[in-house]
A and B are shown apart, each in its own frame.
Chain A
């Protein structure tokens, strides 16, 4: 119960920022806790376990969406899924700051994106290292790089490298 109260909102916000889809984020966070409940016993490192399960659920959901995208016609894809990364034209035509931030997040390398978003939710270096398969002693350095990459992606706008 305590774990739920201290982590549910953090997990939802992390998944929301990761996916840009609040309904999916809420759904995946709940499913993560249901998996924890079904597990029956607390894992050795509950925070890292929750992050890892949530990340895997998100990857599965994204690959399912990608399969749907391939099966649908372009017009229906646009209508049903939208485009999470706004194109250059949208950005240049006065898209608001939230869209620029969304685009910058989407342009980051996977590891940078995960580090930035997980750290923003206050997860510790041990949890980051365990969830992302990193050496804990280099988490700070990688985090600094992720921040620089985000700043460049945000300030560089549509011209930043993917």
Chain B
């Protein structure tokens, strides 16, 4: 029994649930279905590449700027929001420069001009101490971590109790379902995955290709570990 559209799409998108194991088992023995899945993957990559042709840059916008205008009348909303987006977009580059006075100036502006209660110093402390974005889940047996991203991932074993995935460079989105973590990024990103040494069944996929496994017998990666025991694996959304 070959895979139908529903199964192929669900396999691509990590939506098969418990049936994923059985489906992958079938794929190992069925060349036509492997071709079908590969064709669907290529088609999806191509469609995503085409869709990105119509994208415009998205300005970075802080939620406080959005909510600061919550009392604005509907008629003024568009202009005020557009002005906020434009202002933040222009300020973005300067804001990121070391030593730039803009972060403090922006905090002062938000603190006095928009009714936001946080003090400038508190905001600054929050920014400088904020951890990288990430997600942590119990190291359940059979956990699959799917990375749909370009860049690289560094995987290391730890004495912690949870599996942790973080974006230490670049931006990524994280979602979790039972037995699966999915990390997506639309741009280059550096990810870090920390897996407990006690984990007995954690698999890392780059797209849908297995690149690392932590089984009861130990870790196995597509690249050898460095001297610190860390596996650094390149990621590509066009990975076969």
Q: Contact residues of A with B, CB < 8 Å?
A: 1, 4-6, 8-10, 12-13, 16-17, 20, 22-23, 25-27, 30-31, 33-34, 37-38, 97-98, 101-102, 104-105, 116-117, 119-120, 122, 124-125, 137-141, 143-145, 147, 150-151, 154
**Of B43, B70, B177, which one neighbours A147 at CB under 8 angstroms?**
B43
**Of A9, A37, A143, which one neighbours B9 at CB under 8 angstroms?**
A143
**Of A12, A30, A120, which one neighbours B47 at CB under 8 angstroms?**
A120
Smallest CB-CB separation from B182: which chain A residue?
A: A122
**Of A25, A30, A120, A137, which one neighbours B66 at CB under 8 angstroms?**
A30
- Asked whether A141 and B5 contact (CB < 8 A) given A33-B66, A125-B13, the answer is yes
Which residues of chain B come closer than 8 Å to A22, judged between CB atoms?
56-58
As a 0/1 sequence over residues 25 to 47 of chain B, the CB contacts with chain A under 8 angstroms (1 = contact) are 00000000000000010011001
- Asked whether A16 and B10 contact (CB < 8 A) given A122-B184, A140-B15, the answer is no
* Bound CA span A147–B8, Å: 13
Closest CB in chain A relative to B113 CB, distance in Å: 18
- Asked whether A105 and B47 contact (CB < 8 A) given A6-B174, A30-B61, the answer is no
Please tell me if the beta carbons of A34 and B47 are within 8 angstroms of each other in the complex: no
Which residues of chain B come closer than 8 Å to A124, judged between CB atoms?
13, 15, 175, 177
Smallest CB-CB separation from A20: which chain B residue?
A: B54
Closest CB in chain B relative to A67 CB, distance in Å: 16
* Bound CA span A138–B78, Å: 38
Chain B stretch 157-188: residues in CB contact (< 8 A) with chain A: 171, 173-175, 177, 182, 184, 186
Please tell me if the beta carbons of A101 and B43 are within 8 angstroms of each other in the complex: no
* Bound CA span A120–B153, Å: 22
- A-B pairs, top 7 by smallest CB distance, nearest first, are A140-B9, A22-B56, A144-B5, A140-B6, A4-B63, A98-B53, A141-B6
- Asked whether A27 and B78 contact (CB < 8 A) given A34-B67, A122-B173, the answer is yes
Closest CB in chain A relative to B205 CB, distance in Å: 15
* Bound CA span A97–B133, Å: 35
**Interface: B228 (CB within 8 A):** no
Please tell me if the beta carbons of B47 and A150 are within 8 angstroms of each other in the complex: yes
**Could you jot down 5 A-B contacts, CB within 8 Å?**
A6-B174, A23-B78, A33-B63, A122-B173, A144-B8
**Number of A-B residue pairs with CB-CB distance less than 8 Å in the complex they form:** 118
Please tell me if the beta carbons of B54 and A17 are within 8 angstroms of each other in the complex: yes
**Of B53, B69, B85, B148, which one neighbours A101 at CB under 8 angstroms?**
B53
* Bound CA span A125–B16, Å: 10
Q: Contact residues of B with A, CB < 8 Å?
A: 4-10, 13, 15, 40, 43-44, 47-48, 50-51, 53-59, 61, 63, 66-67, 69-70, 77-78, 81-82, 85, 133, 148, 171, 173-175, 177, 182, 184, 186
Which residues of chain B come closer than 8 Å to A34, judged between CB atoms?
66-67, 69-70
Which residues of chain B come closer than 8 Å to A13, judged between CB atoms?
55, 58, 186
Smallest CB-CB separation from A146: which chain B residue?
A: B47
Which residues of chain B come closer than 8 Å to A151, judged between CB atoms?
43, 47
Smallest CB-CB separation from B172: which chain A residue?
A: A6
**Of B10, B40, B59, B85, which one neighbours A125 at CB under 8 angstroms?**
B10
Closest CB in chain B relative to A94 CB, distance in Å: 15
Smallest CB-CB separation from B82: which chain A residue?
A: A23
Smallest CB-CB separation from A61: which chain B residue?
A: B78
Which residues of chain A come closer than 8 Å to B133, judged between CB atoms?
5
Smallest CB-CB separation from B85: which chain A residue?
A: A26
**Of B4, B57, B82, B177, which one neighbours A27 at CB under 8 angstroms?**
B82
Which residues of chain A come closer than 8 Å to B44, judged between CB atoms?
147
